[in-house]
Amino acid sequence: MLLPNAKEEASFDKIDYKRHEFSLDDNYKNKYKGKKFFLKTYGCQMNEHDSENIVGLLKEMGFEEVEDYTKADFLLLNTCSIRENAHNKAFGMLGRFKHLKESKPNIIIGLCGCMAQEESVCDELIKNYKFVNLVFGTHNIDKLPILLDKAFTNNKQNIEVLSRESDLVEKLPVFRVNKYKAYVNIIYGCNKFCTYCIVPYTRGREHSRKREDILEEVNSLVKDGYKEVTILGQNVNAYGKDLYDDYFMGELLEDIAKTGIPRIRFMTSHPWDFTDKMIDVIAKYDNIMPSIHLPVQSGSNKVLKTMGRRYTREQYLELFDKIKKKVPGVCVSTDIIVGFPGESEEDFLETLSLVEYCKFDNAFTFIYSERVGTPACRLKGSIPMNVREERLQRLNDVVNKYFLENNQKLLHKTVKVLVEGISDKKNMYFGYSDTNKLINFISDKQLELGSIVDVEIDIAHTWSLDGRVK
Ligand code: SAM
Ligand code: SF4
C-alpha cells in the first residue's frame, strides 16, 4: 500500500523523473477479453483527457466499455476534488457500487484521479470503504494494467498513490471520444498555490512535455482528420519554463499553428504568465481561435492578495485591454469565486464592477468551497453560506446580462461553426463558433460532421444562438 502525503505534495523538492514511452506488457494484452468496464469521470478537461488514456489502456487489455454499471466487471470513478460537491457525488456513487458488490463479490471497484491524491480521502477509504479494491492517483495512470491485474487476483484493497509527479510517460494509448476535436496536454501540475485551490497538491509541480512530442501528436491528429485541438494544462502559459531557456508558450503556440490544424484553443491561462509574444501569435494566426479563458477570481485587490493570485485588479484589466485591442474579435471568458474568507460587501461590489467593465462572453461562477489542507481553510472571516449563495445569484444576474448582450451583437452576422452533431433536444445541428459560442442551426442540405460551415445567426439566447447555414 502506498498512501499520499500532504507535506510531500506541497513540496518543491526536485524530483529526478525520466521521460519514457509506454508499451503494454504482452502479458496484459487482451488478457481481459470478454470483461466489461464502467467509467465515470468528474471534473475538468484534464480529467476527461486522463479518462481517454484510461479507456485506451483498458481496451488494449481487452475490456469492453458499458454504460450500465450493473453490467460491469470493473467499475472506476475518475474523481475531482476542486469543490466539496464533486467529493460528495463520488462518495454517493461508491455507496451505489457497494450494494452491487454485495450481490457480485467478484467485481472490482476502483477510484482514481484527484480525490485519490488526498490523504484524508485515502484514510476514509481504508476505514469505511473497504470494498473499494483499487485506488491509484494522477501520477501513475500508466501503472493501471499492473494494479488492476493485482486487484482482480487478490480482490483486496490495493492503494497505490504517489505524492509527487513520477516519470513523464509518452505514447499512452488513447481512446478519443470526439472524432473531430482532441485534447493535447502540454504541461502537467501547478506551482501557483492559490490559497483556495487543491490542484497543486493533487497534480504535482509544473512539468512540461517536450516540444517534439507535442508537435508529433498534433501532426498525427492533422493526419487523422482532426479539425480542432485544445491544448491543456492547469496553467498552459507556464509551458517550457521547467524545460527550456528560450522556448515557451508563445513559441509553442506558433509551432502548433504552423501544423495547419484548422482550429486551436488552449486552457487554462493564468494572467500572471500571459506574455506579449503569446498575444502577438494569437493575433497573427487565423487558426488560433479568438477565444481566451482568463480567470480573474475576484475584482478586489484585497481578496486577490489573500487568494495569492499574483496580480492586481489593475494589472488584470491592463492585460484584458491589451488582448481586446490586439486580437480582432476576441471573446474573453473567466472564472469567479464568491464568498472567499474575508470578502466584504465592498469587495464583492468590486467584482461586480469588474464584470461590468469586462462584459465577459462567458463566466464560470463558483461559491467558495473549503478544501482540506489549503491555506484558505485556515483563514478567519468565513462567509455564511446564505451570503455566499446570495452573492452568487447577484453575480449570475450580471454575467448573464452580458452573455445575452454579447450574443445579440451577432444577430444577422455570419459565424464559422464546426459541425459536431444533431442535438436531441432541438433536433438541429449544433457546433461551436470560432469564439466558442454554442450554435444550433438548420441546413437544407445534409452536412458532414466535422466540416466547418458558415451560419447566419437569427436568434440570440443567453447561453446559445440559433441560425441557419448560408
Ligand atoms: N488553473 C486555473 C486558473 O488558474 O485559473 C484554474 C483551474 S481550476 C480547475 C478551475 C476553477 O475552479 C478556478 O479557476 C476557480 O475559479 C475554481 N476553484 C478552484 N478552487 C476552488 C474552491 N476551493 N472553491 C471554489 N472554486 C474553486
Ligand atoms: Fe489552482 Fe491557482 Fe494553480 Fe489555477 S493557478 S490550478 S487556481 S493553484
What average pLDDT score do residues 98-127 get?
97
C-alpha separations of 46 from 247, 252, 334, 381 in Å: 23, 19, 18, 32
Give the position, in ligand 1's atom list, of the atom nearest the Cα of 44: 9
* pLDDT of the residue at 238: 96
pLDDT at residue 368 above 90? yes
CA distance 244 to 240: 5
Residue 175: band (very low, low, confident or very high) from pLDDT cuts 50, 70, 90: very high
Residue 307 beta carbon below 6 angstroms from any ligand 2 atom: no
* pLDDT of the residue at 452: 97
49-278-451 Cα angle (round to 5): 50
CA distance 1 to 133: 12
- Summarised one tens digit per residue, pLDDT across range 319-344 is 999 999 999 999 999 999 999 999 99
The grid coordinates of residue 147 equal: 494494479
pLDDT at residue 297 above 90? yes
* pLDDT of the residue at 216: 98
* pLDDT of the residue at 330: 97
Ligand 1 atom 14: the closest Cα is on which residue? 335
pLDDT at residue 27 above 90? yes
Among candidates 356, 314, 358, which has minimal Cα distance to 334?
Answer: 358
The owner of cell 485587490 is: 301
369-135-145 Cα angle (round to 5): 135
* pLDDT of the residue at 14: 85
- Summarised one tens digit per residue, pLDDT across range 48-77 is 999 999 999 999 999 999 999 999 999 999
Q: What percent of the chain has pLDDT over 70?
A: 100
The grid coordinates of residue 265 equal: 484553443
Are the CB atoms for 343 and 335 separated by under 8 Å? no
> What phi and psi, each to the nearest 5 degrees, are found at residue 371?
-115, 125
CA of 194 to the centre of ligand 1 (A): 9
* pLDDT of the residue at 40: 98
Are the CB atoms for 211 and 248 separated by under 8 Å? no
Q: What percent of the chain has pLDDT over 90?
A: 94
- Summarised one tens digit per residue, pLDDT across range 214-228 is 999 999 999 999 999
Chain-centroid distance, C-alpha 60: 25
CA distance 403 to 375: 34
* pLDDT of the residue at 425: 82
CA distance 105 to 140: 26
pLDDT at residue 233 above 90? yes
Give the position, in ligand 2's atom list, of the atom nearest the Cα of 309: 2
pLDDT at residue 287 above 90? yes
CA distance 61 to 303: 49
Q: Which ligand is nearest to the CA of 294?
A: 1
The grid coordinates of residue 372 equal: 482540506
* pLDDT of the residue at 16: 83
Answer whether the bond into residue 268 is a cis peptide, omega within 30°.
Answer: yes
- For the whole model, what pTM was predicted? 0.95
- Summarised one tens digit per residue, pLDDT across range 405-440 is 999 999 999 999 999 999 888 789 999 999 999 999
Residue 130: band (very low, low, confident or very high) from pLDDT cuts 50, 70, 90: very high
Residue 391 beta carbon below 6 angstroms from any ligand 2 atom: no
* pLDDT of the residue at 197: 97
* pLDDT of the residue at 424: 81
- Summarised one tens digit per residue, pLDDT across range 150-169 is 999 999 999 999 999 889 99
Averaged confidence pLDDT in the chain: 96
Are the CB atoms for 261 and 228 separated by under 8 Å? yes
* pLDDT of the residue at 118: 95
CA of 348 to the centre of ligand 2 (A): 21
* pLDDT of the residue at 231: 97
* pLDDT of the residue at 427: 83
CA distance 190 to 357: 29
- Other residues' Cβ atoms within 10 Å of the Cβ of residue 377: 14
Pocket test for ligand 1, best of 87, 249, 335, 374 (most atoms within 8 A of CB): 335
* pLDDT of the residue at 6: 87
* pLDDT of the residue at 142: 97
Residue 194 beta carbon below 6 angstroms from any ligand 2 atom: yes
Residue 44 beta carbon below 6 angstroms from any ligand 1 atom: yes
Sort strands 465-469 and 452-460 into parallel, antiparallel or unpaired: antiparallel
pLDDT at residue 15 above 90? no
Pocket test for ligand 1, best of 337, 369, 391, 392 (most atoms within 8 A of CB): 337
CA distance 121 to 127: 10
CA of 269 to the centre of ligand 2 (A): 10
- Summarised one tens digit per residue, pLDDT across range 445-456 is 999 999 999 999
- The amino acid at residue 18 is K
CA of 82 to the centre of ligand 1 (A): 7
